[in-house]
Structure 1
Amino acid sequence: MTITTIQNASQDLGPLPIAQDRPKILLVDDRWENLLATEKVLKPLHAQIFKAASGNEALSLVLRHDFAIVLLDVQMPEMDGFETAVLMQEHESMAGVPIIFVTAISKEDRYASKAAEIGAVDYIFKPINPDILKSKVKVYLDLYVQREQIMHLNAILSQSNEELERFAYICSHDMQEPVRMMNAFASLLADSSEQALDEGGRRYLNFILDNARRMQKMIGDILTFSRVGREDILLETVDCQAVLHETLSEFEDVIQQSQALVTYGELPSLETSSTLIRVLFQNLIGNALKFQNGNRPPEIAVTATRQDQVWRFTVADNGIGIDEAFRSRIFTIFQRLHRKEDYPGTGIGLSTCRKFIQLCGGDIDFVSAPGQGCTFYFTLPCKEARTHEAV
């Protein structure tokens, strides 16, 4: 069986880049007096201005600097502006950098069309109105600065999230043992000394046991959530129907006690994460069994259909449903719609599902209404391994 991995993109982020104080402008013209005149016009924009008197010189500067905008003369010896622009765009740092062609003689429509085909954002003629030129360039400089700021803030946010998840992982990992010991000793006390306690003592002991178990469940869920994205995701051949059977066997007692009816169609085998499929089925089927609508036995239907390049799985139930007003809270960690006394849980399961499935190239959402059940659906890329007959 072939297993591949998805590397965590947030690992080894390293120090964040320091944003440039001033954006860079590249002026390209074979006449030095034109370069000096344009530089004088653009100097009030407080940008770093680089000048090149030929296409080759401009290409050399592109290799060493990241530019916010390029003003490029069309008519130049050896290599004209069009050729220079095409070669510039082959360099990774020039992807998306706006190029403005400037010309004194190439005023025919075919030249403007050629500039547009190359990807130029403007094609202007000399003599240039200084105010118009400065205004045009300022717009692109402002866009560049805003984009750089957003990228810088995203990098900071990514690093902050990584540090927060690392902290959650360390804390929850270190909390496992003392909570396990608390649960174990409370259980021993209940077995050996419960009869010696009065009614109040037994009630307090049950409080300790219930909260210790709930804390263990929460710590386990936090560990699962913090691991998603921190560790490599193993991609392997996953028989989704077999995983569903295993999940249903885990809920066998609950299904029998609630007299639940669970139906399912043929599910595919995919190249994906077996842990992901198991987490999805455990959470969605577990919720469907938990959020029952009165005394009506739960009805759960699991299906999978292929739609273009994805498989779309659905888990539908006849439970209490979800109000549309709470949509934004459903996949947010620690957000609960009900009191823990009414419906136990940690508020982490669905947020883990979304985080995990998005790393695997899919997504998850739902349709529902109060009292009318809920249908969760998730998608996964169509990396089929094999198909089989329904059991």
Structure 2
Amino acid sequence: MTTATLGSTLQAAGPMPRTELRPKILLVDDRWENLLATEKVLKPLQADIFKAASGNEALSLVLRHDFAIVLLDVQMPEMDGFETAMLMQEHESMAGVPIIFVTAISKEDKYASKAAEIGAVDYIFKPINPDILKSKVKVYLDLYVQRQQILHLNAILSQSNEELERFAYICSHDMQEPVRMMNAFAGLLAESSDESLGEGGKRYLNFILDNARRMQKMISDILTFSRVGREEIALEEVDCEAILAEILIEFEDLIESSGARVTYAPLPRLETSSTLIRVLFQNLIGNALKFQNGNQPPEITISAARQGPFWRFSVKDNGIGIDEGFRARIFTIFQRLHRKEDYPGTGIGLSTCRKFIQLCGGDIDFTSAPGQGTTFHFTLPNKEAGHHEAI
């Protein structure tokens, strides 16, 4: 998808047409003169008014329309208002629709209590004060319109996010090959022309190589982020401790060179995504090794414990820590807290972790303070593979 296509999609979504926001009111009363009188009172409101002279007629209308509010007479032949309301609420479109009962004779407390049990928002008596009725109905109409606007905006936002992620996936996928070739040819040039290049040429060539590698890393991270949620997450029996051991082997050189000490308690076997566990450990341990406190070698502790229906994992370090003021930014894609010259990275890793883990039914957060290290906590549903105990 090109940028122009993406912009056209967002523009096409546009604001919600006013006609779609116009709510519908359902009036139910077995006396036609009451229906006409109520319709006259409510006509100034920006709403379409439907009338039904019986419970059965009202139920038929509910099957064909989505209503913002229902005004329902209590005393009706064949099917009274209470029975009509209960049958209405069995229909999916009536979930959460406010019902106001209107009555001329059922003024006993027991009827009002029954209306409340059914879920009515009000119980008013005839003769109705027109101004009070109109103001009450207007409140519920305004709430309905606001809710529809929010649902529409959420739909636009969801579509926009999907289009942006698809766009990021296509762009990053197509950029992989030229960046890989740029990196490869720059490397060949460095090997073959090392003696003929002056100091300035070597410095510029190193700039090319460093930026090519950084771009490769960013493209790889964007691809990982855009894939999360686009492909079905495969659940399998995962030995968390075995995956951790593999990750520690990957970081072996960095752990040795930094003098880091990594310890971990027994970790469980779970029914989850092995890719998720790998991504979490790679990012959290990698960050713990990267953001070191220069006064002491890194200390990293990994543990897990049951917490209700979840397993709660912790990755604790003694690094530079995170200021609470950055809490809103820490899991946002492309948001960096430090200059890339000080701490290299793309600003995508933690946002990928949160996106992935939430799709698997868990969440991730942290506790920290500047200079006092950071502990990242993440939860996963307590679905133990084969009902094994933690190793």
| TM-score, with structure 2 as normaliser | 0.94
| SS of residue matched to 2:329 | helix
Matched, 1:109 2:109: yes
Match of 1:214 in 2: 214
On the 8 A contact 2:55/2:84 being kept in 1, the answer is yes
| SS of residue matched to 2:219 | helix
Q: Tell me how far 1:355 sits from its aligned partner.
A: 0.9
Q: Tell me how far 1:387 sits from its aligned partner.
A: 3.0
Matched, 1:183 2:183: yes
Q: Tell me how far 1:389 sits from its aligned partner.
A: 5.7
| SS of residue matched to 1:44 | coil
Matches within 5 A, 1:88-107: 88-107=88-107
Matched, 1:298 2:284: no
Structure 1 residues 389 and 366, CA gap change in structure 2 (3 angstroms): closer
Letter in structure 1 aligned against 2:204: Y
Matched, 1:357 2:357: yes
Letter in structure 2 aligned against 1:215: M
- In percent, how many aligned pairs have the same letter? 85
Match of 2:275 in 1: 275
| SS of residue matched to 2:312 | strand
Distance 1:350 1:193 in 2: 40
What do residues 328-348 of structure 1 show as CA deviations (whole Å, max 9, x unaligned)?
A: 111111111111111110010
The higher-RCO structure (CA 8 Å, 6+ apart) is: 1
What do residues 134-160 of structure 1 show as CA deviations (whole Å, max 9, x unaligned)?
A: 000000000000000000000001101
Matched, 1:382 2:385: no
Structure 1 residues 131 and 291, CA gap change in structure 2 (3 angstroms): same
Letter in structure 2 aligned against 1:216: Q
Distance 1:298 1:155 in 2: 45
Distance 2:77 2:383 in 1: 53
Distance 1:70 1:383 in 2: 45
Distance 2:86 2:212 in 1: 66
Structure 1 residues 39 and 304, CA gap change in structure 2 (3 angstroms): same
Q: Tell me how far 1:21 sits from its aligned partner.
A: 3.9
Distance 1:301 1:88 in 2: 57
Matched, 1:328 2:325: no
| SS of residue matched to 1:335 | coil
Letter in structure 2 aligned against 1:366: F
| SS of residue matched to 1:233 | coil
Number of residue pairs matched by the alignment: 376
Gaps of 5+ in 1: 1-14
Distance 1:61 1:243 in 2: 58
Bigger mean CA offset, 257-266 vs 107-116: 257-266
Match of 1:12 in 2: none
| SS of residue matched to 1:114 | helix
Matched, 1:312 2:306: no
Q: Tell me how far 1:388 sits from its aligned partner.
A: 4.9
Q: Tell me how far 1:242 sits from its aligned partner.
A: 1.2
Q: Tell me how far 1:194 sits from its aligned partner.
A: 1.1
Match of 2:51 in 1: 51
| SS of residue matched to 1:101 | strand
Bigger mean CA offset, 36-45 vs 245-254: 245-254
Letter in structure 1 aligned against 2:317: D
| TM-score, with structure 1 as normaliser | 0.94
Q: Tell me how far 1:256 sits from its aligned partner.
A: 1.2
Letter in structure 1 aligned against 2:388: T
Match of 2:195 in 1: 195
Distance 2:115 2:267 in 1: 52
Bigger mean CA offset, 238-247 vs 311-320: 238-247
Bigger mean CA offset, 377-386 vs 89-98: 377-386
Gaps of 5+ in 2: 1-11
Match of 1:76 in 2: 76
Distance 1:161 1:289 in 2: 32
| Runs of 4+ deviating beyond 4 Å | 15-19
Letter in structure 2 aligned against 1:387: H
Distance 2:111 2:278 in 1: 60
Distance 1:241 1:185 in 2: 40
Distance 2:103 2:384 in 1: 55
On the 8 A contact 2:21/2:149 being kept in 1, the answer is no
Match of 1:234 in 2: 234
Match of 1:163 in 2: 163
Q: Tell me how far 1:290 sits from its aligned partner.
A: 0.6
Bigger mean CA offset, 118-127 vs 324-333: 324-333
Letter in structure 2 aligned against 1:175: M
On the 8 A contact 2:100/2:121 being kept in 1, the answer is yes
Distance 1:204 1:310 in 2: 52
